[in-house]
């Protein structure tokens, strides 16, 4: 009985039997990791476990110069003709580059190439040509044939372990080259220090310290082989060393026990081997002993690790069941896959981790996770995880944020953190809404008092991003701080989530204080022109002003007034009153989407992709905007815009993502939107209804309940909602509460070809706004 219950908990119900043509394709099979590896999606096709520390993936070019590196942020670029090697760390969809640690390249035959060669000259160096025809990519598994050597390369990964399996051409000697010189976004001086150690038992360990996006990042590894090592060489390719100290043992021989330097390579020789060579590699942010312990903690052959990870993926992907036409189903399951990669595990198997102070700490009763792209992921990625992942995952995330604050040199929550280190990328203090959203949804696996303290500390740390002036003036002044307009509105929203949580905890003084700050967005809003604008210390708005200019004087963050003037998730009604009411608001939203881009060139700007007029789906500030018609009483316009966005911005092809996936945010947007609702204001516990893009779906909730979305009559023509029922009763409003979803039930949509201009239009039907006529 118990056993049966356990099995039921481990393996979610199978996908709907009633589904159509794709019923035999499992969620696992529906994922295509190649989606996003072209264009500027910046995803990687390699092997990883859910939230795994190791992302073992091919790098087609790790030698790029800074300008070209953006396109190689994930190491692999679909259009590239060669693979340089297989490295163990990658971001999924980041807009900035780093990682690509511990590159391994197998080589066959009598000579071993020690340099990668020129990416523009396939056939040079150790890089190899390859064909996409030889590639297989699935969650936790990647395979390719290296055409130049004929080596079959397969990759899989557990949580802290990556496993390579190389099948060498018969009769040829097997070698591995480990290149510690390569890195994504590489440039002279990036590698501060590195080391290689050959242990008596044949274990290879090493480390690298890099000055990259995260300065002074330390990564350790341990590597073991399924075949005995015949010989090895450790070499330092650094010509530019003024003083090397004294030579250690091994004079005249490279078969050293240890080599330290800034340009190290290891050549490993196995001779002719019978059958494939398996290479198990564990990472650690703590030390080499930690990497060895992580390697021991996840035992198993390539096939065993692959099977365990496949099971883990099936379980994780089983949280959402989808019945939809195959391309859409592939898009959604791939999106779901992408939402389950970060924040990834960073603590060792024994709970030790390296924190933002570069010191080693012990995680007690939680797994420390890092890779927090919070400016992106507070919007939909984290709210989605609260519905599809166990409470433990979400508590771990909060506990990781709190530990990071505790050990932050500045005493504040992470902004953009990976490998436990702060990078100071993007703006805001968006760990705050992540924590508030979790708390408001009843997640309690953390110390709420400590959390609120950490949130307040982050919102009041004067040296950060103009916060001192923000607190003094009520806005961030552009003459003191770049991107001041964006900062002002994002701080105000973050502040509102502090107020929400404080109020719920009965801490009214804090709630009052931050509720006041939640209105500071008004201080940077030009009520005359109807635009959010950057204001100077003297109170004047900065001139000249052009709402369509991007990066013009950096008033805004990766965008312009068109996108940022809509960012008041906590008070869209207040904004709409300033804009002159519903009609004028709708007209302005339409003007945004229908903006004529002829003659406009934004190619100089970062992360501007996926343009529908001035609506820029490839970047986050626009992500909630299509849902705003709901707030103005015109939900059928939201329904139209969503069709427009989904049809144009997501395709089941390598270049199928309109912009960087941003650690799951682009994908989480699709998962939510396809299900029919979206968290416009995390912290509000409201999901704003758009329209479904599935025939049938279910969320297997972390509490064991099930929330079904059933849809009648969905087709390309039937893009409008006719009616909605929740648990069989008509639903007049355009939003759902988190409690309604979390208690399980059925949301039923009836679709039709014409707009239903009665449904959801009443004032009482509109979603939360803190100064709205209907506040909740």
Residue indicated by tokens 């302005």:
588
Q: By CB under 8 A, which span of 189-197, 221-229, 391-399, 532-540 interacts with a copy of itself?
A: 189-197
Single out the segment in contact with a copy of itself by CB under 8 A; choices: 22-30, 282-290, 304-312, 520-528.
282-290
Q: How far is the CB of 261 from a copy of itself (least distance, A)?
A: 8
- 151 within 8 A of 177, measured Cβ to Cβ: no
Which of 11, 187 has the CB closer to a copy of itself? 187
Q: Which stretch binds a copy of itself (CB under 8 A): 38-46, 246-254, 493-501, 707-715?
A: 246-254
Q: Which of 598, 605, 594 is nearest to 40 (CA)?
A: 605
Residues 389-428 that bind a copy of itself (CB under 8 A): 409-412, 422-425
Decide whether 31 or 412 has the Cβ nearer to a copy of itself: 412
- Judged by CB under 8 A, which of 9, 13, 23, 257 binds a copy of itself? 257
Query: Which of 180, 184, 256, 440 touches a copy of itself by CB under 8 A?
Result: 256
Residue of 80, 29, 94 whose CA lies nearest to 657: 94
Q: Is 464 in the site for a copy of itself (CB under 8 A)?
A: yes
Residue among 143 and 235 whose Cβ is closer to a copy of itself: 235
Distance between CA 612 and CA 592 in Å, rounded? 8
Give the footprint of a copy of itself on residues 351-370 (CB under 8 A).
357-360
Q: Judged by CB under 8 A, does residue 247 bind a copy of itself?
A: yes
Question: Using an 8 Å Cβ cutoff, are 261 and 240 in contact?
Answer: no
> Rounded to an integer, what distance in angstroms lies between the CA atom of residue 479 and that of residue 555?
10
Are residues 107 and 72 in contact, defined by beta-carbon separation less than 8 angstroms?
no
Residue 359 CB, shortest distance to a copy of itself, in Å, is 5
For residue 218 the two structure tokens come to 């330390």
* Residue 200 found at the interface with a copy of itself (CB under 8 A): yes
Q: How far apart are CA 522 and CA 128, in angstroms?
A: 57
Task: Measure the CA–CA gap between 55 and 72, rounded to whole angstroms.
Answer: 15
- Annotate 550-597 with three-state secondary structure: CCCCCCCCCCCHHHHCCCCCCCHHHHHHHHCCHHHHHHHHHHHHCCCC
Of 213, 491, 629, 678, the residue at the interface with a copy of itself (CB under 8 A) is 213
Q: Does 192 bind a copy of itself (CB under 8 A)?
A: yes
- Binding residue for a copy of itself (CB under 8 A) from 172, 392, 480, 503? 480
Q: Binding residues for a copy of itself, how many (CB under 8 A)?
A: 60
For residue 219, give Cα distances in angstroms to 64, 289, 291: 22, 12, 9
297 φ/ψ angles, rounded to the nearest 5 degrees: -70, -25
Q: How far is the CB of 287 from a copy of itself (least distance, A)?
A: 5
Gap between the Cα atoms of 770 and 570, Å rounded:
6
CB of 297 to a copy of itself, least distance (A): 18
Instruction: Please pick, from the candidates 250, 327, 351, 744, the single residue that binds a copy of itself as defined by CB under 8 A.
Output: 250
CB 468 within 8 A of CB 462: yes
Rule CB under 8 A: is residue 461 a binding residue for a copy of itself?
yes
Q: Is 456 helix (H, G, I), strand (E, B) or coil?
A: helix
Q: How far is the CB of 472 from a copy of itself (least distance, A)?
A: 15
* Closer to a copy of itself by Cβ: residue 358 or 453: 358
Question: In this structure, which long-range contacts are made by residues 684-687, counting pairs with CB atoms below 8 Å and at least 24 apart in sequence?
Answer: 684/440, 684/500, 684/569, 684/570, 684/767, 684/768, 684/776, 685/440, 685/441, 685/737, 685/738, 685/739, 686/735, 686/736, 686/737, 686/738, 686/767, 686/768, 686/776, 687/735, 687/736, 687/737, 687/738, 687/741
Residue closer to a copy of itself by CB (options 495, 571) is 495
Tokens of 655: 């270049």
By the rule CB under 8 A, 211 interacts with a copy of itself = yes
Residue written as tokens 């190439």?
113
Residues 6+ apart with CB under 8 A from 330: 30, 31, 32, 35, 652
Residue 481 binds a copy of itself, judged by CB under 8 A: yes
Q: How far apart are CA 681 and CA 380, in angstroms?
A: 9
State in angstroms the smallest separation of the CB of 284 from a copy of itself.
Answer: 11
Q: Is 189 in the site for a copy of itself (CB under 8 A)?
A: yes
Contact call for residue 251 and a copy of itself (CB under 8 A): yes
DSSP for 675-687, please give it.
Answer: HTEE-SSTTS-EE
Question: Scanning residues 613 to 642, which ones bind a copy of itself (CB under 8 A)?
Answer: none
Provide, rounded to whole angstroms, the least separation between the CB of residue 257 and a copy of itself.
5
**Between 209 and 391, whose beta carbon lies closer to a copy of itself?**
209
For residues 560 and 760, the answer to whether their CB atoms sit within 8 Å is no
18 binds a copy of itself (CB under 8 A): no
Shortest Cβ 481–a copy of itself spacing (Å): 7
- Check binding of 243 to a copy of itself (CB under 8 A): yes
How far, in Å, CA of 661 to CA of 617, rounded?
11
* Per CB under 8 A, 197 contacts a copy of itself: yes
Sole binder of a copy of itself in the list 21, 24, 111, 240 (CB under 8 A): 240
Nearer to a copy of itself, 463 or 716 (CB): 463
Q: Which stretch binds a copy of itself (CB under 8 A): 105-113, 192-200, 560-568, 735-743?
A: 192-200
Position among 133, 171, 246, 716 found at the interface with a copy of itself (CB under 8 A): 246
245 in contact with a copy of itself (CB under 8 A) = yes
Q: Does 758 help bind a copy of itself (rule: CB under 8 A)?
A: no
Per-residue binder mask for a copy of itself (CB under 8 A), 37-76, x = binder: -----------------------------x----------
Cα–Cα–Cα angle for 144, 149, 150, nearest 5°? 55
Helical segments of 345-483, H only: 374-377, 381-388, 391-406, 431-440, 448-459, 467-473
Q: In the chain, what is the straight-line distance between the N-terminal and C-terminal CA atoms, in Å?
A: 44
Q: Among 71, 117, 150, 193, which residue sits at the site for a copy of itself (rule: CB under 8 A)?
A: 193
Give the residue, chosen from 20, 123, 216, 275, that forms a contact with a copy of itself under the rule CB under 8 A: 216
Which residues, 6+ apart, have CB-to-CB distance to 609 below 8 Å?
39, 40, 616, 618, 619, 658, 659
Considering only CA atoms, which of 263, 302, 269 is closest in space to residue 179? 263
Where on the chain is the footprint of a copy of itself (CB under 8 A)? 66, 185, 187-190, 192-193, 195, 197, 200, 207, 209, 211-216, 240-253, 255-258, 260, 287-289, 357-360, 409-412, 422-425, 461, 463-466, 480-481
């Amino acid at each position: 009985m118990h056993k049966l219950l356990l099995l039921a908990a481990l393996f979610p119900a199978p996908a709907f039997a009633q589904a159509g043509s794709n019923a035999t394709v499992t969620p696992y099979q529906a994922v295509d990791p190649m989606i996003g590896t072209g264009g500027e999606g910046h995803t990687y096709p390699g092997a990883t476990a859910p939230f795994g520390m190791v992302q073992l993936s091919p790098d087609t070019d790790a030698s790029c110069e800074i300008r070209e590196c953006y396109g190689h942020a994930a190491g692999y670029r679909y259009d590239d003709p060669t693979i340089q090697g297989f490295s163990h760390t990658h971001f999924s969809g980041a807009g900035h580059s780093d990682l690509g640690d511990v590159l391994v390249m197998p080589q066959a035959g009598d000579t071993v190439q020690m340099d990668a060669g020129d990416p523009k000259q396939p056939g040079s160096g150790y890089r190899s040509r390859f064909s996409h025809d030889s590639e297989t990519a699935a969650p936790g598994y990647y395979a390719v044939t290296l055409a130049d050597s004929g080596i079959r390369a397969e990759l899989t990964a557990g949580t802290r372990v990556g496993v390579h399996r190389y099948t060498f051409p018969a009769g040829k000697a097997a070698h591995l080259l480990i290149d510690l010189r390569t890195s994504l976004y590489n440039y002279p001086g990036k590698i501060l220090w590195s080391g290689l150690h050959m242990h008596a038992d044949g274990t290879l360990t090493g480390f690298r310290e890099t000055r990259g996006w995260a300065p002074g990042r330390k990564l350790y590894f341990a590597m073991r082989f399924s075949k005995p090592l015949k010989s090895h060489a450790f070499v330092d390719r650094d010509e530019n060393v003024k003083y090397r100290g004294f030579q250690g043992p091994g004079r005249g021989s490279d078969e050293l026990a240890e080599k330290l330097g800034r340009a190290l390579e290891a050549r490993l020789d196995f001779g002719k081997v019978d059958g494939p060579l398996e290479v198990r590699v564990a990472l650690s942010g703590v030390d080499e002993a930690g990497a060895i312990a992580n390697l021991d903690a996840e035992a198993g052959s390539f096939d065993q690790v692959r099977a365990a990870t496949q099971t883990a993926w099936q379980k994780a992907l089983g949280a959402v069941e989808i019945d939809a036409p195959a391309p859409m189903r592939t898009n959604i399951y791939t999106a779901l896959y992408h939402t389950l990669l970060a924040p990834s595990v960073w603590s060792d198997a024994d709970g030790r981790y390296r924190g933002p102070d570069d010191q080693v700490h012990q995680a007690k009763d939680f797994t420390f996770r890092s890779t927090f792209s919070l400016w992106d992921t507070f919007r939909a990625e984290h709210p989605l995880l609260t519905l599809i992942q166990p409470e433990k995952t979400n508590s771990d995330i909060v506990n990781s944020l709190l530990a990071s604050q505790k050990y932050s040199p500045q005493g504040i929550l992470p902004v953009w953190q990976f490998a436990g280190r702060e990078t100071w990328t993007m703006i805001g203090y968006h760990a705050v809404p992540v924590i508030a959203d979790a708390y408001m949804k009843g997640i309690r696996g953390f110390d709420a008092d400590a959390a609120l303290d950490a949130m307040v500390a982050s919102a009041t740390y004067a040296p950060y991003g103009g916060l001192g002036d923000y607190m003094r003036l009520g806005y961030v002044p552009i003459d003191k701080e770049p991107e001041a307009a964006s900062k002002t509105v994002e701080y105000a929203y973050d502040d509102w989530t502090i107020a929400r949580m404080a109020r719920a905890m009965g801490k009214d003084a804090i709630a009052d204080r931050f509720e006041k700050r939640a209105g500071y967005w008004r201080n940077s809003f030009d009520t005359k022109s109807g635009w959010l604008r950057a204001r100077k210390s003297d109170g004047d708005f900065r001139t000249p002003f052009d709402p369509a200019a991007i990066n013009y004087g950096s008033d805004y963050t990766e965008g312009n007034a068109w996108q940022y003037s809509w960012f008041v998730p906590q008070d869209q009604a207040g904004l709409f009153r300033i804009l002159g009411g519903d009609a004028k608001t709708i007209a302005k939203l339409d003007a945004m989407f229908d903006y004529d881009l002829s003659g406009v060139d934004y190619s100089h700007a970062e992360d501007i992709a996926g343009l529908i007029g001035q609506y820029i789906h490839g970047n986050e500030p626009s992500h909630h905007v299509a849902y705003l018609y709901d707030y103005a009483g015109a939900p059928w316009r939201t329904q139209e815009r969503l069709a427009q966005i989904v049809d144009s911005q997501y395709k089941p092809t390598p270049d199928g993502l309109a912009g960087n996936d941003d650690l799951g945010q682009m994908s989480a947007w699709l998962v939510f939107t396809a299900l029919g609702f979206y968290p416009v204001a995390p912290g509000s516990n409201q999901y704003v209804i758009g329209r479904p893009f599935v025939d049938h779906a279910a969320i297997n909730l972390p509490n064991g309940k099930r929330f079904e979305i059933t849809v009648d009559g969905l087709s390309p023509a039937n893009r409008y909602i006719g009616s909605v029922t929740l648990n069989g009763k008509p639903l007049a409003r355009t939003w759902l509460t988190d409690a309604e979803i979390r208690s399980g039930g059925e949301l039923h949509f009836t679709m039709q070809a014409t707009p239903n201009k009665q449904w959801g239009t009443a004032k009482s039907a509109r979603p939360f706004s803190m100064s709205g006529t209907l506040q909740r």
